[in-house]
Amino acid sequence: MQFKHPEILYALLLLIIPIIVHLFQLQRFVKVPFTNVKFLKKIALETRKSSRLKKWLILTTRMLLFASIIFAFAQPYFSKIDTQKNTHTIIYLDNSKSLSYKYNQQEILKNKAQEIIENLPLSGDVSFFTNDQSYKKTKPNELKNLLINLDYSVNDLSFKAIELKINQLKLNETNTVNKVVLITDFQSSKYFNNSDVTNVNSNISLINTSFNGQNNIYIDSVYILKKTTSEAVLSAVIKSNNPISKNISISLFNEEKLIGKTSALFDNNKESKVDFEIPSTSYFEGTLRLEDENLAFDNSFFFTLNNPKKIDVLSLGNENDFLEKIYTKNEFNYKHQNLNELNFDLIKNQHLIILNELIKIPANLSVVLSEFSENGGSIVVIPSRESELDSYNSFFNSLKIGKINSIDDDLLEINQLMFDHPIFSGVFENEFTNFQYPYSNKQFNSNFFNENPIIKLENGNSFLSRINSTMGMTYWFNTPLNRNSSNFQSSPLIVPIFYNFGKYSFTGSELSHTIGSDSYIDIAVSLQKDRILKIQGVNEEFIPLQQVLSNKVRIQTKNTPSTPGFYKIKNGNDIIKTIAFNYSRKESKLDFTDINEILKDNSSVKVSNSIEQTFTNLKEQQEIKSLFRWFLTLSILFLLLEICILKYFKV
């Protein structure tokens, strides 16, 4: 029980007054002469007993009367919270693409937004945030309008990010109680765990929007399987969250004209592949489509096939056949030169330069390569068994990336692949451990800044790493690749690695780009002074981040565009190139965390599937059950009881 005016309770001390009056019997007695002493003794005995009982009854009722009046004016009440504190409710509504799933012909997100509207308002302040919006201490009417107009976001938040957002929105006043309501489908990619939830350090309620039986069929990826001078084979990967046996119809369009149709055969599996033959001699603006009524955002996949610019690759130093086999003439302009024959003017026109086991890197070459890197060029450095460390360190110093410390002659296995590195993007379907790993018997121990390992040795040191150097990329092998130092040339890893070195040195030939992810697009164009490139779609136009380099312009996109489709890169009114954007397929995977299992030993966190029930519980916690009338009624009853005792209790 709590009191609105607890200071009035000090009046209870005044109850000592009637106690003193009754105990000390502060009354005047009147003497009456009487001669029958024997009769008087009997009367006096009976009178004292009944009088004492009456006094105690009057004392009790009077004290209860005054106590009830005092309690009534102190305004007592029952509440599950301290009403001297304000209540601040923080609501998170996950508006990622996975919540566009249709349940009973209505999208989950729209349904949950409507349920929030129907169960508002909560008393106290309300803050609201989604994956891309945040509103602190918003009014109920404003919140309703936000929920009505709420759209999906390409962003998704891990629980760590949600926790940071909650801490930003919390009111840290001492007289405020923060309550948190999280409404999400607990998709596995969002990484929920027990320790994260308990770290919120507030009254938290979780509402799970996922349910059993959800399935999604979607176009996962598209790539060129093979290509000739006249045609290309386009391969598409179609996935289902659950094994299915039915066939799914896939249609291929070129600039909205249907040019092919086939079926994806699943045969009670989760994945199927389909192939289309398309011409490779002309521009192709392709769209793949399937029909899946549950989740629509991933039913289409947009891509473009341009006549790609060949990537210029220059190898300096030892001549290796394996490089010429990887950098084929249909995709690359590959050249090899010895240092004594090198035309330095050739370097600035390259996209990728490979320093293949040079014993020494001359100072004049270091200067030119440093300028090449500053203009966005990529460099692969493979040391020689006889490398002069001083010349190498002088070169690395010009790039401002670090240095080589020492050389070891240990026999080590090359056995740790960073599968999530972009170099391995699309190379492996699954991670593996049962692989015949290559070895190295000579290692150059280095200390590089901003080093990003791609492959590690068994001792944990990097075998291959990427180092950000000014505007370009530097790839460093810590082992010579000749057959006396390593058998890496014989490993199947060497082909995709060097191929992607070349592909990523000029990022202009991708079939499509992902909305919400960092995409770098190189445009081979020379801009006049004060000119910029812009990107234009059907309903959207924006100026991307761009860097003007010596022989190209590098465009960076992430938060724009916001919708999938085809976009023109324009220089003024001239269309330079068309590119395609798609939503990330991470939200397509309807794989959910069992939040009840994770929190089974955590009684402080409440998990529900109902917004209505959760909000009802919150309102009940905030409700005040006033006892003023009850105590006022009791005081009247005690007054009536005292009157009855005085009137009808005969002494």
**pTM above the 0.75 mark?**
no
405: number of Cβ within 10 Å? 11
DSSP 8-class letter at 96: B
Lowest average pLDDT, out of 113-117, 193-197, 250-254, goes to: 193-197
Instruction: Report the pLDDT value the prediction gives residue 249, as an integer from 0 to 100.
Output: 93
Please give the Cα distance from 499 to 326 (Å, whole number).
Answer: 6
Contact 186, 98 (CB under 8 A): no
User: Is residue 499 packed enough to be buried (19+ CB in 10 Å), middle (13-18) or exposed (0-12)?
Assistant: middle
Averaged over 21-41, what is the pLDDT? Answer: 60
The CA–CA distances, whole Å, from 651 to 45, 49, 57, 397, 648 equal 11, 9, 13, 112, 9
Q: Check: CB of residue 170 under 8 Å from CB of residue 88.
A: yes
What local confidence, expressed as pLDDT, does residue 46 receive?
A: 56
Local confidence band at 287 (pLDDT 50, 70, 90 cut-offs):
very high
- Which pairing describes strands 203-208 and 606-608: parallel, antiparallel, or unpaired? parallel
> Which has the closest alpha carbon to 588: 115, 97, 27, 55?
97
CA distance 68 to 628: 9
Percent of the chain at pLDDT above 90?
Answer: 15
User: What is the average pLDDT score of the chain?
Assistant: 82
Residues 466 and 569 in one domain: no
Q: Residues 325, 461: one domain?
A: yes
Residues 105 and 162 in one domain: yes
H-only helix segments in 184-326: 194-198, 321-326
Give the Cα separation of 398 and 297 in Å (integer). Answer: 48
The answer to whether residues 279 and 401 belong to one domain is no
Residues 157 and 105 in one domain: yes
Total structural domains within the chain: 5
Q: Of 307, 341, 369, at which residue does a domain stop?
A: 307
Under DSSP, is residue 546 helix (H, G, I), strand (E, B) or coil? strand
CATH code (residue 259): 2.60.40.10
* Three-state SS letters, 24-40: CCCCCCCCCCCCCHHHH
Which pLDDT band, with edges at 50, 70 and 90, does 434 fall under? low
Say if residue 196 is in the same domain as residue 222: no
In whole angstroms, give the CA distance from residue 457 to residue 180: 46
**Domain identity same for 336 and 439:** yes
Does residue 386 share a domain with residue 439? yes
Same domain, 540 and 571: yes
Q: Which residue type sits at 423?
A: I
Residue 2: both structure tokens together: 């709590």
Q: Residues 6 or more apart from 609 whose CB is under 8 A from it? A: 207, 208, 209, 211
- Rounded-to-10 torsion of CA 591, 597, 598, 600: 160
**CA 264 to CA 309: how far, in whole Å?**
33
* Contacts of residue 291, Cβ cutoff 8 Å, sequence gap at least 6: 248, 249, 299
Nearest residue to 66 (alpha-carbon basis) of 650, 642, 618: 642
In contact, 244 and 531? CB cutoff 8 Å: no
Q: Which of 5-9, 29-33, 295-299, 508-512 tops mean pLDDT?
A: 295-299
Pick from 156-170, 358-372, 533-547: least confident: 156-170
Domain at 547, CATH number: 2.60.40
Q: Within 13 Å of residue 244, how many CA atoms lie on the same side as its CB? A: 19
Is residue 3 helix, strand or coil? Answer: strand
CA distances from 559 to 378, 555, 562 (A): 26, 13, 7
- How many Å is the Cα radius of gyration of the chain? 40
Q: Rounded distance, CA 638 to CA 99, Å?
A: 61
* Strands, E assignment, 130-230: 134-138, 176-184, 203-208, 217-227
- Higher-pLDDT residue of 83 and 52 is 52
Range of the domain at 252: 217-307
pLDDT of the residue at 621? 64
CATH code for the domain in which residue 418 is found: 3.40.50.880
Q: What is the CATH number of the domain that holds 100?
A: 3.40.50.410
Which of 301, 472, 312, 310 has the alpha carbon at shortest distance from 379?
472
